[in-house]
Structure formats: C-alpha cells, structure tokens
Structure 1
C-alpha cells in the first residue's frame, strides 16, 4: 500500500481520532484526510489531530510532494488531487456533493494515480460524498473500508457507499484500526 486516503463529514472526527490514536507507531504510510469543514477553521484541525498521532500533520499545499510519515489534510475551499509525480494539486472548481473539498474528487484522483496501491476509508457523514470515489478505488484494485453504519454517528455516507458497492470491508472503528495495523505493520 502506498497511501491511505480517509474521508468523512458529520460525526467522523471522533472516529478519526480513535483510529489515529490506535495505529501502530511503525506505520509511516502517508495518510491524506478529506473532512468537510468550514473555510475559516484555520489550523485548529491539524493541531488537534497532531495530539493524537505519531504522524507529522499539515495541510496539503499545491505542488507539494507526498512524504512518508506525514498526514495531510485537504485545505478548506479546495479539491485535493494527486499528480502522477506524487505531488498534490489544489483545485477550486465547482463543488461536488455540495462540498469543496469533495471526498469523491480526492478518492477518484488518488485511485487513478495509485491504482491497487491505494487504501480508501469512508467514515460517518450526512451526504453521499465519497461513495462513488470509494467504488473507483475498489474498481482499480485498491483496498476499501467503510465504517459500520450502525456505529457511525451519521450513517448516510457509509450506507451510500455500501449501496453502490457491496464488497467494501464494512467494520467498526476498532476493526478499522486492526485492519490498518495488520495490513501495514
């Protein structure tokens, strides 16, 4: 696996923190996080996440190359894309699923570049963003994980992903941690 891409919206933050806190410290695969958030939230998200993980946490910058041991967040107001040379590209085109950054846009971009070397994880949320993109990751041979809708604070997003593609690995947050630790350590 070359990268882990995590998407979430309403209700995803606490689950994300527990996943990051439970990850094996030996895992250094780059993580990219796309959370729906307001433009004026500044760096509070990154500072809070940094407290819960061994990764270096930062907001992704245009033309920045992805590095091992880093967790990158998608900046508010931009779609986050991956270029063939493994650098980020920021895009301010139209919203997708009422969102920018859109989880679908990021998942599809990373899947196109990384193919089977991409792991996509979709957490709690109250719209369908991420469902189509996660299927693209699966279609390209990548690993896909969906938070169990029964556990998710807002089940709309996980349910949408499962409705589109029944073969995602659907598990609780504790089992997401186990899958990541077992698969990447």
Structure 2
C-alpha cells in the first residue's frame, strides 16, 4: 500500500526549543511543499521574537499566526504567546484563549489533536526537547489517526522529559536525532 500524501507538519518544543528548531527549520529548502505549524512554550506576558528570529534564519516564509489565517504551503507558522493554535476545516488556523493544558498556552497537545482531526494520515508530528509532558497525548492522537510520529531522541534533548513522555505514549514512534529529523522532513 502506498503511503498517504503528506499534507502538513506540526512541531512541539519547550525548554531548549530555539536550538532544536534551529537544527531543523533553516534546513527546509525553498519549494518545501508542506505547511509547518510550531508550538513553543513561551512566557504569556511578553511579546515573542521567535518568528522574527526564524524569519532571518529560514528560506521559507515564517509567520506568527493571526486568528483565521489561511494555511499556505511552504510556510512556517508559530503560535503566539498565551494562545492555543488550532487547525480548522477549510484550511485555516485559529487562536484560542481556552484554559492552559498542562500549564501551557499555547499547548502542543491542542495543536496536535486539532491537526490530526483535519490531516489524519497526512500529518507528520514531531515532539522535541522540553520539561513537561505536553505533546504526549497529542502525539498519540496523531498515531491513532494514522499520521507519522517522530520524537527527538531523549538522549540528545536539552531536557528529555517531553520526549520521554511522548515515547511512553507512542512507543512505536520514530526516535531520531535533530539531524535525522531535518533529513526526514527534507525528503518528504
């Protein structure tokens, strides 16, 4: 059976996120055909510079999501501080002020679960370094929907708590180094 056509990538990261994402996102080539939605745990009370910083490092367009923004292929979207990021039917992204999940807003679980509902087997979900268990439940929902699940090798993570929790939730996920994740995405 042929694998489904991949439609989107979702990535979640927390402590150590900037360095981990710096190993992956700048390597995505011009012409990369998938949208990439990223949740990084950020302080809720400060303006985030993460989209600006990656805009300078990446070949692809980089945006901080605005509510009801249409999803465009080959664009990297970052959740803004203090908002959950969700994928909606009809190809748009939405923002929510619903309660924090595992003390986090934006929550990786919220993004992964909403994206798995829309993209199903066409979704690639990646859990990177972090200090809590956010992302584990969402990664499981991607697996159940038939999507591809990838976890940063906990031995290489700045903080292994999040990848270890994801691995307990999805023992069948691919365990890859940052370099291998970057290579995998470039070959999709």
TM-score (norm 2): 0.93
Aligned residues: 183
The answer on 1:167 being equivalent to 2:179 is no
Match of 2:155 in 1: 150
Deviation, 1:86, is 1.2
- How far apart, in 2, do the equivalents of 1:41 and 1:31 lie? 23
Q: Residue 126 of structure 1 aligns with which residue?
A: 131
1:12 match: 17
Kindly report which structure 2 residues correspond to 1:93-132, keeping only aligned pairs within 5 A, or say none.
93-132=98-137
The question of whether the paired residues in 1 share the 8 Å contact of 2:28 and 2:60 is answered with no
- Answering whether residue 33 of structure 2 is matched by residue 28 of structure 1, we say yes
Cα deviations by residue, 1:79-118 (Å, 9 ceiling, x for unpaired): 1111110111211011101000100011000001110111
Question: In the alignment, what sits opposite 1:39?
Answer: 44
Match of 1:84 in 2: 89
2: CA distance, partners of 1:156 / 1:111:
23
What TM-score, normalized to structure 1? 0.95
Q: Give the match's secondary structure for 1:150.
A: helix
Alpha-carbon separation, structure 1, partners of 2:62 and 2:71: 12
CA–CA distance in 1 between the matches of 2:177 and 2:16?
A: 14
CA displacement 1:111-153 (0-9 Å, x = unmatched): 0111011110110000000011011111101111100000001
List alignment gaps of at least 5 residues for structure 2.
1-5
SS in structure 2 of the partner of residue 129 of structure 1: coil
Instruction: Determine the structure 1 residue equivalent to 2:73.
Output: 68
CA RMSD of aligned residues (A): 1.1
User: Residues 12-64 of structure 1: CA distance to partner in whole angstroms, max 9, x if unpaired?
Assistant: 21010111122233313111110000134424111111122111111111111
Stretches (4+) displaced over 6 A: none
Work out whether residues 35 and 71 of structure 2, in 8 Å CA contact, stay in contact via their aligned partners in 1. Answer: yes
